[in-house]
Structure 1
Amino acid sequence: MSESTIKLYHFAPSSPSRGALLAARVIGVPVDVIILDLFKKEQLNESFIKINPQHCVPTLDDNGFVIWESRAIACYLADKYGKDDTLYPKDLQRRAMVNQRLYFDSSFLYPKIRAICYPIIFEGATEIKDKLKDDLNNTLNFLNQFLDANMWVAGDNVTIADTAITASMTALREVGWDFTSYPNIQRWLKDCATLPGYEENLEGAKAFGALVKKNLKQ
């Protein structure tokens, strides 16, 4: 397999996009990263719409097999290219736990981060509404509880649930969110800094955080 056979269409400030790329780095599968600047509407290029009519990132093209949605990409890469099943267990109960955490990120955690940040980036909002802040803090309480008995979000070893949630949480940290009430999350984030590709992820998270802080009333 040559490095150019797997293409990942990517935009670094996007947390889901970084989650897919971080998963690829942790799995150890080489991907050819193709940058699409969403602010320049490059995702609307005719050539990309032919690949993905939903024109979103991340999008994976593995020798003509095309799939999008960050966590679906991570599952596919782990199943196909993982050196073993540690990152995405084949045991049904352990896999179900990883899936639950992935769905927690996709349907619960990331949407609440997005609900706060996107109006600030794109709609001229300059403040965070108390209700949105409370909703997100309540969600962080759940994540902190997940980490009470586990070193990682879905058990005692790293899984693709950690790569997904790392992408979301590093973006939130770079926005300047206060994590002092969540000691387990603080500890886990320090551990995540050891993941392959973490620094690359952090660069994109910092870019996202800068976009939010630029418009946020201090």
Structure 2
Amino acid sequence: MGTSASKKITETGLKHCTLWKADRSPACRAVMMALDSMNLSITEVDINIDKGEHRTPEMLVLNPLQTLPVFKDRELVLCDSHAICSYLAGRYCDAGRLLPKDPGGRSIVDQHMHYNSGTLYPRFRAAAYPILYENCHFVMPQQIADIECAYADLECMLLGRCWFGGSWATLSDIVFASTVSTLNILVPIDKTKYPRLSSWLFRVSEELFFVTANRKGLSEFSRRIDCGCVSDETEFKCPRSSLGRRKLAGILQAKILLAKDTSRDVRRTLGVH
């Protein structure tokens, strides 16, 4: 269900849940997309990685591994995006659409999340981290080849289906969307070589959860890769709720659509196509 066909769903507020995250991280964006796809609102705390805020004593108590995201639900603390997504879908989503209730459907989603954590994300780190943190200015040839191999795997997984999980978007598509959309910035997907993967990425990019939870961080990552720009300090306004973030994203999306409509009207007036 894309942005144009999305229906209004009752907001569910979970005041006892907190997510510490950085928008440019694909892992954090996967959790944010899961939240938005379930219309769950929790407290979100933006962490400035460049200032080492993920290594403060308070954060180390929560996660000694010094990684993001970090999720806390009362006394439960989870520090892996896949575990967080599965927990949220299993604990707070009764429909079974994102995480199927039957063992077969659930195992397919689990299989995809294992591929994301074991193959896709390590290849993202190998390609991106030298550029982000080691003053490297390009993706190394071996990393390009590895990412291309992953694209070929994903192309095969989509044979005969529109979504990785089946007939609709599941957690499989959410975790893949966060990583693949980021990899696409580093190594653009060749539409002729990977037509199914390219079509899937376009389709998932029109989902409302992608618009509200992935686009901003993706743009931030792209700026950082291209020119080393760090996010404006004014972006670090926390804590805030998922609902507040979604409202802001909705306002920005409406402005973008308005600008596109205005641009089309101008082109029509000038007779330009």
- Shorter-normalised TM range: over 0.9
Cα deviation for residue 159 of structure 1 reads 0.8
Is the 8 Å Cα contact of residues 26 and 178 (structure 2) preserved in structure 1?
Answer: yes
SS in 2 for 1:115: helix
Corresponding residue number in structure 2 for 1:60:
71
List runs of 5+ in structure 1 lacking aligned partners: none
Corresponding residue number in structure 2 for 1:77:
88
Cα deviation for residue 188 of structure 1 reads 0.8
Tell me which amino acid in the other structure corresponds to 2:108.
M
Is the 8 Å Cα contact of residues 139 and 186 (structure 2) preserved in structure 1?
Answer: no
* Of 2-11 and 116-125, the range deviating more from structure 2: 2-11
CA deviation profile, 1:163-191 (whole Å, cap 9, x unmatched) = 11100111122346243221111111122
Counterparts of 1:118 and 1:56 in 2: how far apart (Å)? Answer: 14
Is the 8 Å Cα contact of residues 174 and 206 (structure 1) preserved in structure 2?
Answer: no
Is the 8 Å Cα contact of residues 157 and 164 (structure 2) preserved in structure 1?
Answer: yes
Counterparts of 2:185 and 2:144 in 1: how far apart (Å)? Answer: 16
Is the 8 Å Cα contact of residues 175 and 213 (structure 1) preserved in structure 2?
Answer: no
Counterparts of 2:214 and 2:103 in 1: how far apart (Å)? Answer: 30
Q: Percent identity?
A: 23
Query: Please, which of 208, 219, 226 is the counterpart of residue 206 of structure 1?
Result: 219
Is the 8 Å Cα contact of residues 43 and 55 (structure 1) preserved in structure 2?
Answer: yes
Cα deviation for residue 36 of structure 1 reads 0.8
Tell me which amino acid in the other structure corresponds to 2:216.
E
Query: Please, which of 168, 191, 203 is the counterpart of residue 203 of structure 2?
Result: 191
List runs of 5+ in structure 2 lacking aligned partners: 1-11, 229-273
Cα deviation for residue 2 of structure 1 reads 4.3
Cα 1:210–1:175 shift into 2, 3 Å = farther
Counterparts of 2:70 and 2:187 in 1: how far apart (Å)? Answer: 29
Counterparts of 2:181 and 2:111 in 1: how far apart (Å)? Answer: 20
Tell me which amino acid in the other structure corresponds to 1:76.
Y
Counterparts of 2:100 and 2:13 in 1: how far apart (Å)? Answer: 26
Counterparts of 2:55 and 2:127 in 1: how far apart (Å)? Answer: 25
Is the 8 Å Cα contact of residues 179 and 185 (structure 1) preserved in structure 2?
Answer: no
SS in 1 for 2:67: coil
Counterparts of 1:12 and 1:2 in 2: how far apart (Å)? Answer: 21
Tell me which amino acid in the other structure corresponds to 2:210.
Y
Please tell me the root mean square deviation across aligned C-alpha atoms, in Å: 1.6
> What are the equivalent positions in structure 2 for 1:159-174 lying under 5 Å apart?
159-174=170-185
- Report how many aligned residue pairs link the two structures: 215
What TM-score do you get using the length of structure 2 for normalisation?
Answer: 0.74
SS in 2 for 1:197: helix
SS in 2 for 1:56: coil
Structure 1 residue 89 corresponds to structure 2 residue 97:
no
Counterparts of 1:58 and 1:113 in 2: how far apart (Å)? Answer: 16
Counterparts of 2:153 and 2:45 in 1: how far apart (Å)? Answer: 35
What TM-score do you get using the length of structure 1 for normalisation?
Answer: 0.92
Query: Please, which of 16, 24, 27 is the counterpart of residue 27 of structure 2?
Result: 16
SS in 1 for 2:18: strand
SS in 1 for 2:135: coil
Runs of 4+ aligned structure 1 residues displaced above 3 Å come to none
Cα deviation for residue 91 of structure 1 reads 1.1
CA deviation profile, 1:61-112 (whole Å, cap 9, x unmatched) = 1122111100100000000011311111121111111111111111111211
Query: Please, which of 57, 61, 65 is the counterpart of residue 46 of structure 1?
Result: 57
Counterparts of 1:38 and 1:45 in 2: how far apart (Å)? Answer: 11
Counterparts of 2:163 and 2:205 in 1: how far apart (Å)? Answer: 13
Cα deviation for residue 196 of structure 1 reads 3.1
